Amino acid sequence: MTDLTGKTILVTGASSGIGKATAEHLVSCGAKVIGGGRSVAALEELASSTGVTPLPFDLESEDSIRDAVSDLDLWGVVNCGGFGGEIATPMETDIAVFDKVIRVNARGSLLVIKHTAPGMIARGKGGSIVNVSSQASLIALRGHVSYGASKAALDGITRVSALELGQYAIRVNGVNPTVVLNDMSAFYWGRPEIAAPFLSRMPLGRWATTADVSGPIGFLLSDESAMITGVSLPIDGGFTSV
């Protein structure tokens, strides 16, 4: 089992979905987890069940991010906070929604790195950052112009951050999962006319689970991946490779 004993890791978006599952998984691996998010109630519920330290802040506000994270003594960061936006073509897209998707998914993740990395550098112990991207950054998905653009930007942030932080023994990687079917995604991906052709193209032929994503995140945070940096790892049942 992945060993993260003694490592303090910040997980954004920890109040639900992949972020919550990741926080729970990292606790089971021995990490001290700080859970970031906007919902105080959801974070407090997570804290009561797992021992995660709740840390509410707003990914759309640099001041909120700076105040929350700049003094944390961290080994690792998981940028999992995100906003799905809308299902729309480039001709139909609402630019206000597009701007928010970019602010949360790309700008917010960059700001978390901006305000956590200096402390990690100063402590001189190295570390690991994992950005939760999407298969939508690797291939074109209908209706996903905003979301795909935000995650493609995040992949670029991952690669440049890996280049810049490698000299400090800080690794930066991304994971690019396929759809995790939940209450937020089912409105679109749960439709038979959408789901059936999509899954028929996927070699493994099923939706991802949160555990399918949290396990590889734990691996990329751990010393087991000590020579891996700058990658965008598809967790997509082979969808983007065929």
**Catalytic positions:** 147
If we measure between CA atoms, which residue out of 174, 161, 159 comes closest to residue 111? 161
Are 57 and 68 in contact by the 8 Å Cβ rule? The answer is yes
Using DSSP's 3-state secondary structure scheme, residue 44 falls into helix
Tokens, residue 228: 């891996």
Based on its alpha-carbon atoms, the radius of gyration of the chain, rounded to whole angstroms, reads 17
Tokens, residue 151: 């995650």
Placement of tokens 């690792």 in the chain: 76
Report the C-alpha dihedral over residues 221, 114, 185, 44, rounded to 10 degrees.
Answer: 80
Q: Report how far residue 93's alpha carbon sits from residue 143's, in angstroms, rounded to the nearest whole number.
A: 9
